[in-house]
Amino acid sequence: TTEAPKADTTAAAPAAKPPLSQPLISNIYTADPSAHLFEGKIYIYPSHDIEAGIPENDKGDHFAMRDYHILSMDSINGKVTDHGVGLDIKDIPWAGRQLWAPDAAFKNGTYYLYFPVKDKQDVFRIGVATSKTPAGPFKAEATPIAGSFSIDPAVFQDTDGNSYMYFGGLWGGQLQRWQKGAYDANAPEKEPSTDVPALNARVGKLSADMKHFDGPVQEIKILDEAGKPLLASDTKRRFFEGGWMHKYQGKYYFSYSTGDTHLLVYATSATPTGPFTYQGVIMQPVQGWTTHHSIIEKDGKWYIFYHDTQLSGKTWLRNIKVTELKRRADGGIETIVP
């Protein structure tokens, strides 16, 4: 017979996908999602993972990304639009390889895309590109931001109008090579593993044009409950990479990845530049080696954008997700088990 089988009306309808904690898009691999509310929508600035065929190593050579796709959603559960390539490595005059985790900001009618990429000497620097629209295309400045180094820029705009860039990442992110004030190509490939204060993220206030540092970059301090700096050996709490700043009820929350222990954790301070006091775990390890996030408020609820490797099972081919971030009455963040 050519008659189509009758629908089995007794069978349960397929379960609706839970709206949260599912890959947001599957047409390309994406990671390191920096989310922002621009023009009434959620814009996401992720890394665009590709299969470059480079073997996995502790320097992250397998993360050989070459462009950014910018995404948007009308609402947290809404359709995701892929706006296509917003910036290509071939259009960054000083770039060598590895376009890693970006972030974005808006000021005075201009959108700014901040991106880490290795220069032609294989040293990570942070660049900036501009556009009149949040989806780009973005045009890169001719040189990296003077005084920038390492990876993972996160730009926070405070309620008083000041903007700050947090940045840095260990191992492949090269932060351990900047301990003498200049790049040291002969420095160890990893941070010290002994009981010395941990290396930390850097913060620099941005100039009014958002393209330079306004004054010296500082290393932030992250302290334990006794007011002592976290130690390099304290790998479940010390900073590794992927910093993000948000403000909640007047307090500054600096959150980050612990890298080789695969946690997202946070520390708080009364000021945007610290010192910060370690508070706890935001998210337990996801599938895949890296863990990287952003946090935004939308319609009175807080959300965390993050990634895992659900679609590929490969650490270098990730997919971004979002889930709700819940707080205790004291403002502390409840730990998410992804």
Subset of residues 66 to 95 that bind ligand FUB, contact rule: CB under 6 A: none
Nearer Cβ to ligand FUB (47/72): 47
Q: Does the annotation mark 324 as catalytic?
A: no
| 126 is a contact residue toward ligand FUB (CB under 6 A) | no
Contacting residue, 33, 86, 204, 242, with ligand FUB by CB under 6 A: 242
Which residue type sits at 220?
Answer: I
Among left, alpha and beta (phi > 0; psi -120 to 50; other), residue 242 is: left
Residue 116 beta carbon to ligand FUB: minimum distance, rounded to whole angstroms: 6
Task: Spot the catalytic one: 103, 191, 241, 308.
Answer: 241
| 115 is a contact residue toward ligand FUB (CB under 6 A) | no
| 32 is a contact residue toward ligand FUB (CB under 6 A) | yes
Cα 262-268-274 angle, rounded to 5 deg: 110
| 191 is a contact residue toward ligand FUB (CB under 6 A) | no
10 Å CB burial of residue 156 (0-12, 13-18, 19+) is: buried
Beta bridge partners of 218: 203
Nearer Cβ to ligand FUB (110/235): 235
Q: Does the annotation mark 91 as catalytic?
A: no
DSSP for 112-170, please give it: EEEEEEEETTS-EEEEEEEESSTT---EE-SSPPTT--SS--EEEE-TTS-EEEEE--S
| Residue count (the chain) | 338
Contacting residue, 30, 34, 290, 309, with ligand FUB by CB under 6 A: 290
Phi and psi (nearest 5°) for 177? -90, 0
Contacting residue, 47, 148, 255, 319, with ligand FUB by CB under 6 A: 47
Active site (catalytic) residues? 32, 241
Q: Which residues bind ligand FUB (CB under 6 A)?
A: 31-32, 47, 63, 100-101, 151-152, 169, 241-242, 290, 292
